Amino acid sequence: MPVIPPSSVKAVRPALFTQLQTTITGTDLLVSLGKPGTYNPSDIVWVGNAHRTTKPSHMVGSGGAGWLDESYQIQVTVEVFRGGDEELVVWNRTCDLVDAVEAAVRTDPSIGGLVLWSYPQQASYDSDWEPEGKGRLAVAELLIHFEAIQ
């Protein structure tokens, strides 16, 4: 029976979290694996869901190692809140944190050798009043793309 290698996503998601936690620092900042709980500082960066696809790469009769290419996206969310009407402050900090996430990925695109490569694929930004009108909240959703051979 052939040895079927596991998906790299199991190791990459926590490795991405560790990479971000190590490189993105600051006061009143939380870097979280998964959606944060009740502790909500002003700045939050969290590593979220993964969405994976595979496709045959090379004909391997046993279906073993090297047969599949896997690609996936892991969502990283940046949330920045400031009380009052400080739209530009919130916007600038959100952009700075997005830049920091992207720089962390670009600095080590193989995520410590776990994947062939990765790159920041997409970012969408939303900035508005916090739902209760207590201040400004900006949220950026990033997709980090990963490629590996399975």
Q: What band does 1 get if pLDDT is binned at 50, 70 and 90?
A: low
Residue 150 lies in a domain: no
Task: Determine the structural domain holding residue 72 and report its residue range.
Answer: 9-145
Residue 98 lies in a domain: yes
Residue 126 lies in a domain: yes
Residue 49: left if φ>0, alpha if ψ -120 to 50, beta else—which one?
beta
CATH number where 50 lies? 3.30.70
Residue 3 lies in a domain: no
Please state the domain count of the chain. 1
Q: What band does 60 get if pLDDT is binned at 50, 70 and 90?
A: low
Residue 1 lies in a domain: no
Task: Tell me what pLDDT residue 127 has.
Answer: 96
Q: What is the pLDDT of residues 76-134, one digit of tens each?
A: 999 999 999 999 999 999 999 999 999 999 999 999 999 999 999 999 999 999 999 99
Residue 4 lies in a domain: no
Residue 112 lies in a domain: yes
Residues in contact with 21: Cβ distance below 8 Å, sequence separation at least 6, in sequence order = 31
Rounded to whole angstroms, how far apart are CA atoms 12 and 86? 36
Dihedrals φ, ψ of 97, to 5°?
-70, -40
Rounded alpha-carbon distances, angstroms, from residue 24 to 47, 78, 99, 103: 13, 12, 10, 10
Q: What is the pLDDT of residues 11-57, one digit of tens each?
A: 999 999 999 999 999 899 999 999 999 999 999 999 999 999 988 87
Query: Model's pTM, two decimal places?
Result: 0.92
Residue 2 lies in a domain: no
Task: Tell me what pLDDT residue 129 has.
Answer: 95
